[in-house]
Structure 1
């Protein structure tokens, strides 16, 4: 069974940055469900924006992990509670990380 526990917290400004990226990524994913390759210009812009947003999203997590030194392991991931700024380690059986 997967576990979930608090491993840290971020500042409200940091939370706001990832929340904006999270919402943008979700919006782009919804748009991707209805845009077809028939509209080449819009499709190419969407693909590019999805890639850039995904990269920025991933980079945020890497920056915060470096800054705060959160625990983690291969079969786990982090989640954020946007209301509390708490960071959770979510994953299966992690050897040595205590999750």
Structure 2
């Protein structure tokens, strides 16, 4: 089930969209990078970690600022077209 609980500005949406796309790109790259290429592998792991932290920090910052509803077992999603924020739960 999805419930609209808020909206973000265009600038805020662009910030999280960039992080989302970077995280997806890194996850795709992780599927093909071999541990044998140690330098690239270590950089990928570091970038994935840093991007994940920035992504979660964005959600935490926005949730605090906008006081979004939350519940156990749920997560938030952003609609990159409308800038709406959804609470997604069963």
> How large is the RMSD of aligned CA atoms in angstroms?
0.4
Cα drift, residue 64 of structure 1: 0.2
Distance in 1, Cα, partners of 2:8 & 2:73: 22
Distance in 1, Cα, partners of 2:37 & 2:86: 40
Q: TM-score scaled to structure 1, two decimals? A: 0.90
| 2:7 equivalent among 9, 22, 42 | 9
Q: TM-score scaled to structure 2, two decimals? A: 0.99
Task: Report how many residues are paired.
Answer: 90
Question: Which structure dedicates a bigger proportion of its chain to helix?
Answer: 2
Q: Secondary structure in 1 aligned to 2:24?
A: helix
Which runs of structure 1 show a deviation greater than 6 angstroms over 4 or more consecutive aligned residues? none
| 1:40 equivalent among 33, 38, 42 | 38
Q: Which of 1 and 2 has greater Rg?
A: 1
Distance in 2, Cα, partners of 1:47 & 1:69: 32
Q: Is 1:71 matched with 2:79?
A: no
